[in-house]
Amino acid sequence: MALAAAPATLYSAKEELRACMDDGEALKPLLAARDAWIRGHEAELKGFHDEMQALVARQPEVDRGDEQAVAAFNAEMATLNARVAEINTRGEQFNKDSVELNARLFAVNKRCAGKLYRIKDRDALLKERAQRKP
C-alpha cells in the first residue's frame, strides 16, 4: 500500500501580497483617525457628563420662587441638551462612517488573511517599501 503524496503548498503570488500590503497601508491612517475620534469623543462625553452632574447637583439650590433663577437654570439645561444633541448627531455620523470603514477592513481581511506567501517575496516587498520611504 503506497502513501499518498502530501498536497503541494499553494503560495499566493508576490503581486497579491503587494496588493494586500498596499490595502493594509491605505487603511492605517483611517483606522488611526477613527481611534483618535473615539478618544476625543469619550473625553467630550466625560466632560459633558461632569457638567451635567454639576448642574443637576445645583438644582436644589435654585430658588423656585425666583423666576430669573429658574430661567437661568433652565437656560443652562437647554444649552447642555443642545450640546448632547450635537454629540449624538456626530456619533450617528461616526457610526455610519464606521460601517463603511469596517466593510473595507473586512474585505481586505477576507481577501488577504490566511493566504500563504513566500518569505522571499515578503522580504523583497518590505525592502522595496523601505527604499520608498523618505
Residue 11 lies in a domain: no
Q: What is the pLDDT of residues 7-44, one digit of tens each?
A: 666 889 999 999 999 999 999 999 999 999 999 999 99
Instruction: Domain count for the chain, please give it.
Output: 1
**In this predicted structure, what is the pLDDT of residue 111?**
93
Mean pLDDT of the 46-54 span = 96
Mean pLDDT of the 32-60 span = 96
Residue 79 lies in a domain: yes
Residue 134 lies in a domain: no
Residue 99 lies in a domain: yes
Domain that holds residue 66: 18-129
Global pTM value: 0.74
pLDDT > 70 fraction of the chain, expressed in percent and rounded: 93
Give the per-residue SS3 of the chain: CCCCCCCCCCCCCHHHHHHHHHHHHHHHHHHHHHHHHHHHHHHHHHHHHHHHHHHHHHHHHCCCCCHHHHHHHHHHHHHHHHHHHHHHHHHHHHHHHHHHHHHHHHHHHHHHCCCCCCHHHHHHHHHHHHHHCC
Task: Calculate the average pLDDT of the chain.
Answer: 92
**Of 1 and 118, more confident:** 118
